[in-house]
Amino acid sequence: MDTRAGEAAKVGSIIEVSPPSLRKVDRNIQALATSKDYHGKPRNGIIGNYAIATSGPDDWMDGSGSRGAAHIRAHRLRLATLVKAGVVEVVSKDKDGDPYEWRVPTDFEQKAIALDMKQGRASGVKLLSRQDLNAQLESPGATWLDRSQVSWGRGDMDGISSKISPFAKELDTAFQQRREWLIKQGYAERSQEGTSRYVTYKRGYVKALETEGFNAATQKLEGMTGKAHIAEQAGRLIEGTVVQKYELPHGPHAMIETQRAFYLVPWENHHAQKWGKRIKGRVLSGGGIDWDAGRTRGIGR
Protein backbone atom coordinates (compact mmCIF):
# COMPACT_ATOMS: atom_id res chain seq x y z
CA MET A 1 0.00 0.00 0.00
CA ASP A 2 1.13 3.55 -0.72
CA THR A 3 2.86 4.65 2.49
CA ARG A 4 1.33 8.12 2.45
CA ALA A 5 -2.14 6.76 1.72
CA GLY A 6 -1.72 4.14 4.43
CA GLU A 7 -0.73 6.69 7.04
CA ALA A 8 -3.92 8.69 6.50
CA ALA A 9 -6.36 5.90 5.62
CA LYS A 10 -8.52 4.09 8.13
CA VAL A 11 -11.22 1.43 7.95
CA GLY A 12 -13.95 2.80 5.71
CA SER A 13 -11.71 5.26 3.84
CA ILE A 14 -12.28 5.52 0.09
CA ILE A 15 -9.23 4.47 -1.94
CA GLU A 16 -8.43 3.98 -5.62
CA VAL A 17 -6.24 1.11 -6.82
CA SER A 18 -4.35 1.17 -10.13
CA PRO A 19 -1.09 -0.25 -11.55
CA PRO A 20 2.15 1.51 -10.47
CA SER A 21 3.01 4.47 -12.70
CA LEU A 22 5.06 7.65 -12.76
CA ARG A 23 3.84 10.36 -10.44
CA LYS A 24 2.84 13.66 -12.09
CA VAL A 25 6.09 15.48 -11.31
CA ASP A 26 8.14 12.57 -12.70
CA ARG A 27 6.13 12.58 -15.93
CA ASN A 28 7.02 16.22 -16.44
CA ILE A 29 10.69 15.60 -15.66
CA GLN A 30 10.76 12.82 -18.24
CA ALA A 31 8.92 14.94 -20.82
CA LEU A 32 11.38 17.83 -20.39
CA ALA A 33 14.42 15.55 -20.61
CA THR A 34 13.26 14.06 -23.92
CA SER A 35 12.04 17.33 -25.49
CA LYS A 36 13.78 20.25 -27.20
CA ASP A 37 14.90 23.50 -25.58
CA TYR A 38 13.72 26.99 -26.62
CA HIS A 39 16.40 27.02 -29.35
CA GLY A 40 14.90 23.88 -30.85
CA LYS A 41 17.84 21.69 -29.83
CA PRO A 42 17.34 18.29 -28.12
CA ARG A 43 17.93 18.46 -24.38
CA ASN A 44 19.45 14.95 -24.41
CA GLY A 45 18.42 14.34 -20.81
CA ILE A 46 19.64 17.68 -19.40
CA ILE A 47 17.05 19.87 -17.68
CA GLY A 48 17.51 23.09 -15.71
CA ASN A 49 15.63 25.52 -13.51
CA TYR A 50 14.46 27.61 -16.47
CA ALA A 51 13.00 24.60 -18.27
CA ILE A 52 11.17 23.55 -15.11
CA ALA A 53 9.80 27.05 -14.46
CA THR A 54 8.57 27.59 -18.01
CA SER A 55 6.86 24.17 -18.06
CA GLY A 56 4.62 25.22 -15.18
CA PRO A 57 1.51 27.44 -14.89
CA ASP A 58 1.90 30.81 -16.58
CA ASP A 59 0.86 32.99 -13.66
CA TRP A 60 4.01 35.09 -13.27
CA MET A 61 2.72 37.98 -15.37
CA ASP A 62 -0.24 38.71 -13.10
CA GLY A 63 2.08 39.14 -10.13
CA SER A 64 0.86 36.16 -8.11
CA GLY A 65 3.10 33.32 -9.23
CA SER A 66 1.47 31.04 -6.64
CA ARG A 67 0.96 27.99 -8.83
CA GLY A 68 4.26 28.57 -10.59
CA ALA A 69 6.12 28.72 -7.29
CA ALA A 70 4.49 25.49 -6.11
CA HIS A 71 5.37 23.84 -9.45
CA ILE A 72 9.06 24.76 -9.11
CA ARG A 73 9.20 23.76 -5.45
CA ALA A 74 7.64 20.35 -6.14
CA HIS A 75 10.17 19.63 -8.89
CA ARG A 76 13.19 20.74 -6.85
CA LEU A 77 12.12 18.63 -3.87
CA ARG A 78 11.55 15.59 -6.08
CA LEU A 79 14.85 16.06 -7.92
CA ALA A 80 16.67 16.27 -4.57
CA THR A 81 15.19 12.88 -3.64
CA LEU A 82 16.09 11.40 -7.04
CA VAL A 83 19.67 12.69 -6.77
CA LYS A 84 20.06 11.21 -3.29
CA ALA A 85 18.84 7.85 -4.62
CA GLY A 86 21.21 8.00 -7.59
CA VAL A 87 18.42 8.12 -10.18
CA VAL A 88 19.40 11.52 -11.62
CA GLU A 89 22.67 13.44 -11.49
CA VAL A 90 23.46 17.10 -10.78
CA VAL A 91 25.58 18.45 -13.64
CA SER A 92 25.89 22.12 -12.59
CA LYS A 93 25.19 24.42 -9.67
CA ASP A 94 24.43 28.13 -9.29
CA LYS A 95 26.56 30.68 -7.45
CA ASP A 96 24.89 29.74 -4.15
CA GLY A 97 25.89 26.11 -4.60
CA ASP A 98 22.35 24.93 -5.30
CA PRO A 99 21.65 22.49 -8.16
CA TYR A 100 21.02 24.31 -11.45
CA GLU A 101 20.94 21.49 -14.02
CA TRP A 102 20.29 17.75 -13.80
CA ARG A 103 20.95 14.76 -16.10
CA VAL A 104 17.98 12.41 -16.47
CA PRO A 105 18.81 8.84 -17.64
CA THR A 106 17.07 7.19 -20.59
CA ASP A 107 15.63 4.50 -18.28
CA PHE A 108 14.26 7.15 -15.91
CA GLU A 109 10.72 5.74 -15.84
CA GLN A 110 11.81 2.28 -14.68
CA LYS A 111 14.21 3.69 -12.08
CA ALA A 112 11.72 6.23 -10.70
CA ILE A 113 8.96 3.63 -10.32
CA ALA A 114 11.43 1.16 -8.78
CA LEU A 115 12.46 3.82 -6.24
CA ASP A 116 8.85 4.50 -5.31
CA MET A 117 8.16 0.77 -4.96
CA LYS A 118 11.20 0.37 -2.76
CA GLN A 119 9.88 3.17 -0.53
CA GLY A 120 6.38 1.67 -0.54
CA ARG A 121 4.97 4.55 -2.59
CA ALA A 122 4.21 3.07 -6.00
CA SER A 123 1.58 0.45 -5.35
CA GLY A 124 -1.04 2.48 -7.18
CA VAL A 125 -3.15 2.97 -4.06
CA LYS A 126 -4.49 6.53 -3.83
CA LEU A 127 -6.43 7.89 -0.87
CA LEU A 128 -9.56 9.63 -2.18
CA SER A 129 -11.26 10.30 1.14
CA ARG A 130 -10.29 9.57 4.70
CA GLN A 131 -13.95 9.91 5.69
CA ASP A 132 -16.16 6.87 5.28
CA LEU A 133 -19.43 7.22 3.38
CA ASN A 134 -21.59 7.65 6.48
CA ALA A 135 -19.42 10.51 7.77
CA GLN A 136 -19.72 12.27 4.41
CA LEU A 137 -23.52 12.21 4.26
CA GLU A 138 -24.02 15.27 6.49
CA SER A 139 -20.50 16.68 6.62
CA PRO A 140 -20.37 20.51 6.80
CA GLY A 141 -17.35 20.50 4.48
CA ALA A 142 -16.77 19.59 0.83
CA THR A 143 -16.53 15.79 0.63
CA TRP A 144 -15.42 13.29 -1.98
CA LEU A 145 -19.11 12.67 -2.68
CA ASP A 146 -19.53 16.35 -3.59
CA ARG A 147 -16.51 16.40 -5.90
CA SER A 148 -17.67 13.18 -7.61
CA GLN A 149 -21.38 13.95 -8.04
CA VAL A 150 -21.13 14.94 -11.70
CA SER A 151 -18.97 11.98 -12.74
CA TRP A 152 -21.27 9.55 -10.96
CA GLY A 153 -24.32 11.08 -12.58
CA ARG A 154 -22.76 10.65 -16.03
CA GLY A 155 -21.82 7.06 -15.22
CA ASP A 156 -18.18 7.62 -16.15
CA MET A 157 -16.46 7.38 -12.77
CA ASP A 158 -13.10 5.66 -13.23
CA GLY A 159 -13.07 2.08 -12.03
CA ILE A 160 -16.82 1.89 -11.35
CA SER A 161 -18.50 1.72 -14.73
CA SER A 162 -21.34 -0.48 -13.50
CA LYS A 163 -23.78 -0.01 -10.63
CA ILE A 164 -24.37 -3.70 -10.03
CA SER A 165 -21.60 -4.42 -7.50
CA PRO A 166 -22.37 -4.18 -3.75
CA PHE A 167 -20.05 -1.19 -3.31
CA ALA A 168 -21.49 0.55 -6.38
CA LYS A 169 -24.98 0.16 -4.92
CA GLU A 170 -23.75 1.53 -1.60
CA LEU A 171 -22.22 4.48 -3.44
CA ASP A 172 -25.41 5.14 -5.35
CA THR A 173 -27.38 5.29 -2.10
CA ALA A 174 -24.77 7.61 -0.54
CA PHE A 175 -24.89 10.00 -3.51
CA GLN A 176 -28.68 10.16 -3.26
CA GLN A 177 -28.57 10.84 0.49
CA ARG A 178 -25.88 13.51 0.11
CA ARG A 179 -27.96 15.11 -2.65
CA GLU A 180 -30.94 15.33 -0.28
CA TRP A 181 -28.76 16.95 2.39
CA LEU A 182 -27.46 19.52 -0.11
CA ILE A 183 -31.04 20.38 -1.08
CA LYS A 184 -32.03 20.90 2.58
CA GLN A 185 -28.99 23.14 3.12
CA GLY A 186 -29.81 25.23 0.05
CA TYR A 187 -26.84 24.15 -2.04
CA ALA A 188 -29.05 22.40 -4.61
CA GLU A 189 -32.65 22.31 -5.73
CA ARG A 190 -34.99 20.05 -7.65
CA SER A 191 -36.01 21.14 -11.13
CA GLN A 192 -38.39 19.82 -13.72
CA GLU A 193 -38.61 20.31 -17.47
CA GLY A 194 -41.55 18.56 -19.02
CA THR A 195 -41.52 15.03 -17.69
CA SER A 196 -37.83 15.18 -16.85
CA ARG A 197 -36.83 15.76 -13.24
CA TYR A 198 -33.32 16.60 -12.15
CA VAL A 199 -31.28 18.31 -9.46
CA THR A 200 -29.34 21.53 -10.12
CA TYR A 201 -26.49 22.70 -7.91
CA LYS A 202 -25.73 26.28 -7.02
CA ARG A 203 -22.68 27.76 -8.71
CA GLY A 204 -19.62 27.47 -6.48
CA TYR A 205 -21.31 25.24 -3.94
CA VAL A 206 -18.24 22.99 -3.49
CA LYS A 207 -16.08 26.02 -2.68
CA ALA A 208 -18.75 27.26 -0.26
CA LEU A 209 -18.72 23.86 1.46
CA GLU A 210 -14.91 23.99 1.70
CA THR A 211 -15.14 27.38 3.42
CA GLU A 212 -17.82 26.12 5.80
CA GLY A 213 -15.75 23.05 6.71
CA PHE A 214 -12.60 25.14 7.13
CA ASN A 215 -14.32 27.63 9.45
CA ALA A 216 -15.74 24.78 11.55
CA ALA A 217 -12.26 23.28 11.87
CA THR A 218 -10.60 26.55 12.94
CA GLN A 219 -13.31 27.17 15.56
CA LYS A 220 -12.78 23.67 16.94
CA LEU A 221 -9.01 24.12 17.08
CA GLU A 222 -9.37 27.50 18.78
CA GLY A 223 -11.41 25.83 21.50
CA MET A 224 -8.92 22.96 21.87
CA THR A 225 -5.73 25.05 21.90
CA GLY A 226 -6.89 28.34 23.39
CA LYS A 227 -5.08 30.07 20.54
CA ALA A 228 -6.51 32.35 17.87
CA HIS A 229 -6.60 31.36 14.22
CA ILE A 230 -4.90 33.80 11.83
CA ALA A 231 -6.41 33.88 8.35
CA GLU A 232 -4.26 33.92 5.21
CA GLN A 233 -4.01 37.36 3.61
CA ALA A 234 -2.04 38.33 0.52
CA GLY A 235 1.43 39.51 1.49
CA ARG A 236 1.24 38.13 5.04
CA LEU A 237 4.34 36.33 6.31
CA ILE A 238 3.47 33.01 7.92
CA GLU A 239 6.01 31.87 10.47
CA GLY A 240 5.72 29.18 13.12
CA THR A 241 6.23 25.51 13.97
CA VAL A 242 4.59 22.68 12.03
CA VAL A 243 2.79 20.76 14.81
CA GLN A 244 -0.06 18.80 13.23
CA LYS A 245 -1.51 17.36 10.05
CA TYR A 246 -5.22 18.10 10.28
CA GLU A 247 -7.65 16.23 8.04
CA LEU A 248 -10.47 18.33 6.61
CA PRO A 249 -13.21 16.82 4.38
CA HIS A 250 -11.68 18.44 1.29
CA GLY A 251 -8.08 17.55 2.09
CA PRO A 252 -5.27 17.57 4.69
CA HIS A 253 -3.99 20.82 6.17
CA ALA A 254 -0.90 21.73 8.18
CA MET A 255 -1.35 23.41 11.55
CA ILE A 256 1.45 25.93 12.10
CA GLU A 257 1.65 27.32 15.63
CA THR A 258 3.13 30.44 17.15
CA GLN A 259 3.19 31.28 20.85
CA ARG A 260 -0.33 32.76 20.85
CA ALA A 261 -1.93 31.80 17.53
CA PHE A 262 -1.97 29.28 14.70
CA TYR A 263 -2.35 29.05 10.92
CA LEU A 264 -4.17 26.28 9.04
CA VAL A 265 -2.84 25.93 5.49
CA PRO A 266 -3.16 23.30 2.73
CA TRP A 267 -0.80 20.39 3.33
CA GLU A 268 2.30 20.01 1.14
CA ASN A 269 5.08 17.40 1.24
CA HIS A 270 7.31 20.26 2.34
CA HIS A 271 5.52 20.31 5.71
CA ALA A 272 6.38 16.67 6.43
CA GLN A 273 10.06 17.53 6.06
CA LYS A 274 9.64 20.44 8.48
CA TRP A 275 7.63 18.55 11.13
CA GLY A 276 8.34 20.03 14.56
CA LYS A 277 10.53 22.74 13.03
CA ARG A 278 10.16 26.43 12.27
CA ILE A 279 8.82 27.26 8.85
CA LYS A 280 8.38 30.54 6.99
CA GLY A 281 6.33 31.44 3.93
CA ARG A 282 4.57 34.38 2.32
CA VAL A 283 0.95 34.36 1.14
CA LEU A 284 0.80 35.20 -2.57
CA SER A 285 -1.75 37.57 -4.06
CA GLY A 286 -3.11 34.95 -6.46
CA GLY A 287 -3.52 32.34 -3.73
CA GLY A 288 -1.10 29.79 -2.35
CA ILE A 289 1.99 30.26 -0.20
CA ASP A 290 5.60 30.65 -1.25
CA TRP A 291 7.57 28.58 1.26
CA ASP A 292 10.82 29.83 -0.26
CA ALA A 293 9.99 33.35 0.94
CA GLY A 294 13.29 33.67 2.70
CA ARG A 295 15.19 33.12 -0.52
CA THR A 296 15.09 35.39 -3.55
CA ARG A 297 15.01 33.20 -6.63
CA GLY A 298 13.94 34.04 -10.17
CA ILE A 299 12.93 31.54 -12.83
CA GLY A 300 16.36 31.75 -14.42
CA ARG A 301 18.18 30.71 -11.26
Domain borders along the chain are 19-123, 131-202, 226-290
Q: Give tens-digit pLDDT for 12-68.
A: 888 887 778 888 999 999 999 999 998 899 999 999 999 999 998 775 544 556 678
Give the mean pLDDT of the chain. Answer: 85
The pair phi, psi for residue 160, each rounded to 5°, is -135, 75
Tell me what the mean pLDDT of segment 101-119 comes to.
Answer: 92
CA distance 239 to 241: 7
129-138, 157-166, 227-236, 283-292, range with the lowest pLDDT:
157-166
Where residue 163 falls among pLDDT bands split at 50, 70, 90? Answer: low
- Tell me if domain 19-123 and domain 226-290 are identical in fold: no
pLDDT of 3 reads 45
pLDDT of 63 reads 52
Where residue 123 falls among pLDDT bands split at 50, 70, 90? Answer: low
Please check the confidence at residue 122 and state whether its pLDDT lies above 70: no
Please check the confidence at residue 268 and state whether its pLDDT lies above 90: no
Does domain 226-290 sit in CATH 2.40.30? no
Q: Is 209 exposed, middle or buried (0-12, 13-18, 19+ CB in 10 A)?
A: buried
pLDDT of 143 reads 93
pLDDT of 206 reads 92
pLDDT of 117 reads 83
Q: Comparing C-alpha atoms, which of 296, 288, 242 is closest to residue 65?
A: 288
CA distance 57 to 68: 5
DSSP codes joined into one string, the chain: --HHHHHH--TT-EEEE------HHHHHHHHHHTSB-TTS-B-TTEEEHHHHHHTS---TTTT--HHHHHHHHHHHHHHHHHHHTTSSEEEEE-TTS-EEEEE--TTHHHHHHHHHHHTT--S-EEEEESS-HHHHHT-SS--HHHHHHHHHHHT--TT---S-SHHHHHHHHHHHHHHHHHHHHTSEEEEEETTEEEEEE-TTHHHHHHHHHHHHHHHHHHHHH--EE----TTPEEEEEEEEEEEETTEEEEEEE-SSEEEEEE--HHHHHTBTSEEEEEE-TTSSEETTTTS---TT-
Residues counted in the chain: 301
pLDDT of 169 reads 86
82-91, 97-106, 150-159, range with the lowest pLDDT:
150-159
Q: Give tens-digit pLDDT for 194-238.
A: 788 888 889 999 999 999 999 999 999 999 999 999 998 888 899
Of the spans 15-24, 30-39, 125-134, 263-272, which averages the highest pLDDT? Answer: 30-39
pLDDT of 77 reads 93
Please check the confidence at residue 2 and state whether its pLDDT lies above 50: no
Where residue 300 falls among pLDDT bands split at 50, 70, 90? Answer: very low
**Assigned fold of 19-123:** Arc Repressor Mutant, subunit A (1.10.10)
pLDDT of 155 reads 63
